[in-house]
Amino acid sequence: EFTPNPASQQPPASAQPSAVLVGLFDSSVGPQVLLTRRSESLSSHRGQIAFPGGRLEPGETSLQAALRETHEEIGLDATHAMVLGELAAHRTISSSSHIVPHVVDLGAPPSEFRLSGEVERVFTVPLADLVRPDTFAQEHWVFADREVVVPVFYLDDETIWGATARMLQELLLLTLQR
């Protein structure tokens, strides 16, 4: 079940409420997850691998924001996707975002995308690739003069770290327990 503690989903006053869409679909190689590479021209998280999503607008729920941002960023209308639930909220260090990840079953693999200026690339990764022993590492990095342990996924042509890697790690733990 993708049902975190509701209290953990509320952003602290200092954080920017945000949401992302963790889009899953079945394929001939098993379940896959949808990811994006953010544009190098952005002011924050430039060039990083992320789920589609962004900041909440006034009066919007986190699910509404995740669906709207997904459509704006990659042209994918996921309003009819089956909502499976939420992962625990994650905080980013650099942009002070409080991100609620919404897990959805997209059904069939998306056939085409319309990229916005925020996204350079959309790609999918089989969940099986993310659980290979040679793919995952826990690394010690320094942020704001303190050492933190950062989960990192090394794929053939991409490196996933930070909040996206933490969300993927939680997704994998929950799906492997099923």
- Residue 42 pLDDT class (50, 70, 90 cuts): low
pLDDT at 31 exceeding the cut of 80: yes
Answer for the pair 66, 73: CB distance below 8 angstroms, yes or no: no
Highest-scoring range by mean pLDDT, 45-59, 69-83, 142-156: 69-83
Q: How far is CA 17 from CA 61, 95, 106, 110, 115, in A?
A: 10, 11, 24, 27, 23
Percentage of residues in the chain having pLDDT higher than 70: 84
Residue-wise pLDDT for 102-143, tens only, equals 999 999 888 888 888 888 899 999 999 999 999 999 989 887
Q: State if pTM tops 0.85.
A: yes
Return the CATH architecture of domain 6-126: Alpha-Beta Complex (3.90)
pLDDT of residue 16: 84
Of residues 93 and 87, more confidence is placed in 87
Domain coordinates in residue numbering, the chain: 6-126
List of residues 6+ apart from 93 with CB closer than 8 A: 143, 144, 148
- pLDDT value at 7 more than 60: no
pLDDT band at 70 (very low <50, low <70, confident <90, very high): very high
